[in-house]
Amino acid sequence: MKYVALAVVLAVMQAAVPTPPKAPNPSAGRSQNVKNHGSVQNTPPQKTATVVEPISAQPSQQNSGSPSGPNTQQSVRVSELPPVSVHRDWADWVAWGLACMLVVIGAGGVRAAYKTLKTVEKQTQALVNAERAQVYVKAIKNHDSGGHATFTIRAKNYGGVPARVVSSVYAETALQFPDSELPVPPRYDPSMLLNEKFLEPRAKHLIVEFNPFSEPNRMRELSRPNSKLVVYGRIEYFDGISSTKRETRFAFAHVREKPSEIGGQVIRCGSGEYNLYT
């Protein structure tokens, strides 16, 4: 009985203890790998045929290489523009009317400014002319006891500054038609002044005492029947303000409008060239 129990215990112990695994042999593994590698190197590789199957591109994939999408810029061509009608309301007409009014007002302002400028220029020139020397020539009648008359031809400075007279000349002649017979342009002799003369404001300068009844003038008048005695001449001077030489020309004819008129009178004659003032 004891032997039977001991045998059972030994059998159980033998069944419970597991068998330890075998340790791998590295040398065997290396040798096996070397064999396999050698067999692989000695065996030539088999060529595998590559089969290329054509792939048909789908319509949605034709432009897959280029960027396309909903944000891609595309050109739009318009063959004909649609007609456009513009409707103006009252605000547009008011703005248009105001613009026209501004144009008219601006043009009026420019014109008024131009007129003002011209007026100022005229006033300035008038002030300058009032100050500068201005020499005029007049004929003054002088009576005598014999029923004859003489005429004083003189120049007077009506300006505000002295005039420097540099030339004074006159001539006498007899002409039937002085207005047309006096030659144009006028021809004057050299100055009769020996020296320059300063003519103060309101001062007078005697040019000649014209006597139509003198012996030389009577001879001139007799040499040409129905003629008139004429005296003409010129004054040249500087006005005291500018460097411009100015001149005053004159021409007078002796006439008798009435036989009863004692001594007669002298009147302006000749063209504008003989009565010029600068």
For 52-72, write each residue's pLDDT tens digit. Answer: 444 444 544 444 444 555 566
Per residue in 172-223, pLDDT tens? 999 999 999 999 999 999 999 989 999 999 999 999 999 988 888 888 887 8
Residue percentage of the chain with pLDDT more than 90: 34
Alpha carbon distance 262, 258 (integer Å): 9
User: Identity (one letter) of the amino acid at 84?
Assistant: V
Rounded to whole angstroms, the Cα distance separating 253 from 157 reads 23
The answer to whether 198 and 229 have CB atoms below 8 angstroms apart is: no
Instruction: Give the number of residues written for the chain.
Output: 278
The pTM (predicted TM-score) of the whole model is: 0.55
Angstrom distance (rounded) from CA 237 to CA 136? 11
* Of residues 70, 189, 206, the one with CA closest to residue 150: 206
Nearest of 151, 129, 137 to residue 244 by alpha carbon:
129
* Pair of tokens at residue 245: 């030489």
Q: What is the pLDDT of residue 182?
A: 94
pLDDT of the residue at 257: 72
Strand partners, 139: 153
Max CA-CA distance within the chain?
219
Amino acid, res. 203: A
The phi and psi torsions of 6 (rounded to 5 degrees) equal -65, -40
* For residue 110, pLDDT beyond 80: yes
Cα separation of 133 and 239, whole Å?
4
The one-letter amino acid code at 136 reads Y
d(CA 171, CA 176): 16
Please report the DSSP string for 146-211 in residue order: TS-EEEEEEEEE-SSS-EEEEEEEEEEEEESSHHHHS-SS---PPP--SS-EEE-TT-EEEEEEE-
